[in-house]
Amino acid sequence: MGAKFINAVCATAILWACCGSSALAQEKTGAKSGFTLKPGTARIVLMRPTIRVGSQSTGGMSEPNADWTAQAKEQIGKALADAQSKLGNEVVSYEEGLSGEGPITSQYGNLFSAVADSVIEYQFFPGNRLPTKKHSKEFEWGVGPGLTKLQSLKNADYALFINTQDDYGSTGRKVLQLFAAMGGISVRSGVHIGYAGLIDLKTGELVWLNADRQMGGDVRSPDGAVKRVHQLLEGFPGRAPDQLAASN
């Protein structure tokens, strides 16, 4: 068994171990200290979702991501519209229009994923924290100020990235096959991490990140989508506390 296989087993096992129990001891939301978002003050643009296969990818092995079928998009759209009222701010979908900025926006989406990965791996994950991040206790992450130059984003104050990552490859597949052979575990979409992050378009700072390590779950159903969106937007800056409690 190679080191890669062990790592994949470990990553999977730790994720499952933590999510199998009801008490989630690990931090899953981070925000820039002092950051708040007053209702009615900001225009938020929802970026196109970035779907990623994990770092151990092999030979074209990636499963269709159930989250982004038409039905899921429809449901998520509805759930977001509903959540908007609780977020208290206007949320619009990203439109490339005629700007030709599709490719560069994709690059930013990929970069956001890399940043979110780092936050999760090196700040959220207690066993793996970077010492420099540990003792400073600041939440200092970002994608740089280049976003401010994009024409297609000039009418917004914040960009909301909702990404999903399937940390999944040949070794991951083998792990799941192992469990399948033992019989009966019906994990629908495999090891699945979703996260939502808010980027301040003036500075490129990541002002808020929520990592949802909810596994499986069918986002194409109305309940699944609503639940997923609410979990992803849990702790969204500026939400009234009683509304937060109600949505849980």
Within residues 108-147, the interface with other proteins by CB under 8 A covers: 108, 110-111, 113-115, 117-119, 121-122, 125-133, 141-146
**CA-to-CA distance for 9 and 190, rounded, in angstroms?**
13
Rg of the Cα trace of the chain? 18
Nearer Cβ to other proteins, position 216 or 235? Answer: 216
**CA-to-CA distance for 158 and 47, rounded, in angstroms?**
10
**CA-to-CA distance for 214 and 228, rounded, in angstroms?**
8
Q: Smallest gap, in angstroms, from Cβ of residue 197 to other proteins?
A: 14
Tokens standing for 186?
A: 């019906």
Nearer Cβ to other proteins, position 21 or 248? Answer: 21
Q: Smallest gap, in angstroms, from Cβ of residue 201 to other proteins?
A: 14
One residue of 7, 93, 148, 151 binding other proteins per CB under 8 A? 7
Tell which positions 47-106 bind other proteins, by CB under 8 A: 48-49, 51-66, 68-73, 102-103, 106
In angstroms, the Cα distances linking 152 to 13, 73, 91 are 41, 21, 15
- Please count the residues of this chain forming the interface with other proteins, following the rule CB under 8 A: 82
129, 119 contact by CB (below 8 A): no
**CA-to-CA distance for 211 and 231, rounded, in angstroms?**
9
One residue of 192, 220, 228, 230 binding other proteins per CB under 8 A? 220
From 161, 195, 164, select the one nearest 30 (Cα to Cα): 195
Tell which positions 159-198 bind other proteins, by CB under 8 A: 169-170, 173, 176-177, 179-180, 182-186, 188
CB atoms within 10 A of CB 124: 20
Regarding 24 and contact with other proteins (CB under 8 A), the answer is no
Nearer Cβ to other proteins, position 103 or 241? Answer: 103
Nearer Cβ to other proteins, position 61 or 246? Answer: 61
